[in-house]
Amino acid sequence: MTTFLQVLIGGAVFAAAYSLIGIGYNLAYSTFRVINFAQGQLYMLGAMVYVTALQARLPVVVAVLGGLLVAGVAGVAVERVAITPILSHGFKHGTIQASLLATVAAGIVIENAARLIWGTNQRHAEPLFGSVVIQAGSVAIGADQLTAIGGALLGMLATWLLLQRTSIGLQIRAIASNPLGASLQGVRNGLVISFSFFLSGVLGGLAGILLSALGSASVSVGLQLSILGLIAAMLGTLGNMRRLIPAAYVVGVLQTAFSTYFSTRFGDDLALVVVLCGLVVSGLWVRRARGGRTVSLAQQSAV
């Protein structure tokens, strides 16, 4: 029973990161109808800048702000360099496909640039609270685990408040609903879309910072996090914020359970296979329930 409870706690830690990455995917998709496959590399940038700043003996606040800022600026760069030129001018055929490939290329460029800066070795960040452990009966919860979960929840709450209670959030939701109508109402679509990509980068960087405090960071972690975060977003229905957190928790618990009960080495792969099978089965079930009619991603609710 104790092991099972530890799996649930470990799953919550991973779910925190996947939720933040998934929200980044949703922001990009909602405003531009594009899946930003470089989202995992933004996670990596936030983690590496944070760890490097701590190793340079900079204050924790400076390290956190530096990681968030670099990841956010990189998110805007991906939008401005890799996505907007293609969607603005486009190709005769396959504009969306070309923009997707462009985000993949952007992720590769970011990762290779990071290799030149930091190399391939893992970098370890000292836990903020050392080895402090909170004992709840027979279950031990690390203070840094609670910090990761709490930090992610605060990040998600701040994002929700921004989207629901501010002018810029209203403009993001307007573009997600009807880009042309938003433009006719005076919304500066280009600036708002750039801000949404900056925000998605900040959220990815925050996920990297929170998880790097629990272990280590490396430049090669981006691809794995891109896949798992995207799977969580798809499992919760891409573009739908409300279903993302429970979907991310399912992915996190599966990953932790397989790593605990079977193999640490293959835990991520087994969890990914199970979730992918679940996506296929649920997709077939939904299509059958709707009489064989499929609904495009553009027809789903956005923010």
Under a CB-based contact definition with an 8 Å cutoff, are residues 216 and 122 in contact?
A: yes
Question: Residue 207 and residue 21: Cα distance in Å, rounded?
Answer: 7
Q: pLDDT tens per residue, the chain (303 residues)?
A: 677 777 888 888 888 888 999 999 999 888 888 889 999 999 999 999 999 999 899 999 999 999 999 999 999 999 999 888 887 765 544 577 788 889 999 999 999 999 999 988 888 877 776 667 777 667 778 888 888 899 999 999 999 999 999 999 999 999 988 888 888 888 898 899 999 999 999 999 999 999 887 877 889 888 778 888 888 888 777 767 778 888 888 888 887 877 777 765 555 565 566 666 655 555 543 444 445 443 333 444 445
Helix H, strand E, coil C: the string for 240-296 is CCCCHHHHHHHHHHHHHHHHHHCCCCCHHHHHHHHHHHHHHHHHHHHHHHCCCCCCC
Query: What fold is seen in the domain 2-299?
Result: ABC transporter involved in vitamin B12 uptake, BtuC (1.10.3470)
Identify the CA nearest to 70 among candidates 235, 191, 209, 165: 209
Assessment of whether the complete model's pTM goes beyond 0.75: yes
**Extents of the domains making up the chain:** 2-299
